[in-house]
Amino acid sequence: MTEVVRLALEEDIGAGDVTTEACVPASRKARGRFLAREPLVVAGLHLLREIYDLRGGVDGLTLLHRDGDCAAEGEIIATVSGSARTLLECERVALNFLQRLSGVATAARRYTNAVAGTNCRVLDTRKTTPGMRALEKKAAAAGGVTNHRMGLFDAVLIKNNHIAAAGGVSQAIESARSTGLPIEIEVRTRAELAEALAAGATHLLLDNLTPDEAAEWVREIGGRAKVELSGGITLENVAAYARAGADFVSSGAITHSARAMDISFRLELM
């Protein structure tokens, strides 16, 4: 993750933190605490070491939680000590990563809690912040969801435009077998469903159905293939979709709409 951390530091600090350099003596030492200002699921603390190391390092860094841990309001999640200048110039970048990734982990935990007691697993998607996918998927996993494919390279997901370009459902499935990768295919009509099952599809994607419609389709599939539901799935309705009998539900909101959590950094002189 060093490259994304380096880019974030360069973006913020540029040629130098002019405020800190003007106000704070180079010799001054300080300690800082990262504080959860609301209940959250922690993610991203492992990046703190990289952030500080890229700016010359710190004297001490203690991570009081691990990814996936719950932190209560007012709880200290990490402490750091060293050059006051280093702590100040890294403050915003550190908080940006922690707030964003803890937001993803917290959203993921809410989704997984919502489907507890069903046999359905929640998946994340590729709807991630450019350059942040690996970090956001790690945070989602920390929150309890199952990572879907990382990108276009590690699994086959045949969607409606692929079917159109390939010349049909059967043609797309047969051609994709040559990859040797897991194959999932989206079906939008009963005719496509029948064709996909006849072609040996083992993982189906059903998109933009209501929970009642999804339950009807799942009954028709009857266990002949794994079923993923997607499209319009939110925290408010994910339990209804899970109860429809699907094996998986996927929601882009876990990553693309996660709210940054309220985490503060408190500094004091040593």
Q: What is the mean pLDDT of each run of 10 residues along the chain (270 residues)?
A: 92 97 97 98 98 97 98 98 98 98 98 97 97 97 97 96 96 96 95 96 96 97 97 96 97 97 97
The whole-number pLDDT of residue 1 equals 62
CA 167 to chain centre: 34
Nearest to 226, CA basis, from 200, 248, 198: 248
Cα 192 from chain centre: 31
Handedness of CA 94, 97, 102, 103 (dihedral sign): positive
- Kindly report, as residue ranges, where domains of CATH 3.90.1170.20 are found in the chain: 2-111+258-269
Query: Which residues belong to the active site?
Result: 92, 127, 159, 186, 207
- Looking at residue 66, its pLDDT comes to 96
CATH homologous superfamily, domain 112-256: Aldolase class I (3.20.20.70)
List where CATH 3.20.20.70 sits in the chain: 112-256
The dihedral built from the CA positions of residue 105, 92, 50 and 39, taken in this order, carries a sign that is: negative
The CATH architecture assigned to 2-111+258-269 reads: Alpha-Beta Complex (3.90)
Question: Can you give the pLDDT at residue 2?
Answer: 81
- DSSP one-letter code for 244: T
**139 neighbors 102 (Cβ within 8 angstroms):** yes
Q: How far is CA 148 from CA 165, 176, 182, in A?
A: 24, 18, 11
- Write down the pLDDT at residue 18: 98
- Maximum Cα–Cα distance across the chain: 73
pTM above 0.85, yes or no: yes
| φ, ψ (nearest 5 deg) of residue 268 | -145, 150
For position 44, what pLDDT does the model report?
98
Which residue from 199, 204, 235 is spatially nearest to 222, judged by alpha carbons?
Answer: 204
